[in-house]
Amino acid sequence: MLLKEICEELSTTLLKASKKDLNDPATHKEYNRTGERYYNLLLELLCRRTQEKPELTSFPTTNNEMIVCGPVDFYSLCPHHLALIFGKAYIGYVPRQKVLGLSKIPRLVRWLAGDLIKQEDLTVEISDNLEAAVFDESVRAMAPEVRHNGVAVVLRATHTCMMVRGVKVNNDCLTTTSSMTGCFLDSQKQARTEFLSFVHRGAGS
């Protein structure tokens, strides 16, 4: 059965269960496209399955200072409850000879998030994709202590499956995850501290 048909069947079942009279012409007109709307909503939320991965165009640079982007809003579906996860991503990197086109980071974050994916895994996937896009393999193989560049990712998200069911946390309860490489792993070089101070300012705390 196609996903669209499943959405339409689910919609009809739920609408009937909530006592909507789908035979009434007025009600029918209001709800007859609910299944299709739900299907389109899922296609947006699962954009990783339906849209091409954004191409990560890079440009040469002589700048080797930290570049920080965020907050970038993202939306995912929890793979355990199919419930909405929404949050903000903060991305930093210290380049080496090349930088990414500025719009590429938000595009990558939103595309990678568009899946049934755990926040912990999404954090690492963003970090891995950026590492591969901005650094050559020889740089990526270097030990953190001797690397002057790297990638930092922090995600803060609300899991609606923790709000509306089970533990029922407050709606301002956020889950924070991070993934860092290279110079961001070395507190002596202060890249980590500088990046995290940006994240805290961006989060308004």
Of 42 and 108, the one with the shorter C-beta distance to Zn ion is 42
Cα–Cα nearest to 131, from 76, 175, 91, 177: 91
Q: How far is the CB of 79 from Zn ion (least distance, A)?
A: 8
- 132/164 with CB nearer Zn ion: 164
**Sequence letter at residue 157:** A
Tell me which residues touch Zn ion (CB under 5 A): 78, 80-81, 161
- Cα angle: 164, vertex 40, 72; to 5 degrees: 65
Long-range (24+ apart) CB contacts under 8 A made by 138-147 are 139/96, 140/181, 142/182, 144/181, 144/182, 144/183, 144/185, 144/186, 145/186, 147/182, 147/183, 147/186
Least distance between Zn ion and beta carbon 171 (Å): 15
- C-beta of 194: minimal distance to Zn ion in Å? 33
Supply the minimum distance, in Å, between the C-beta of residue 166 and Zn ion: 8
In this complex, which beta carbon is closest to Zn ion, that of residue 47 or of residue 116?
Answer: 116
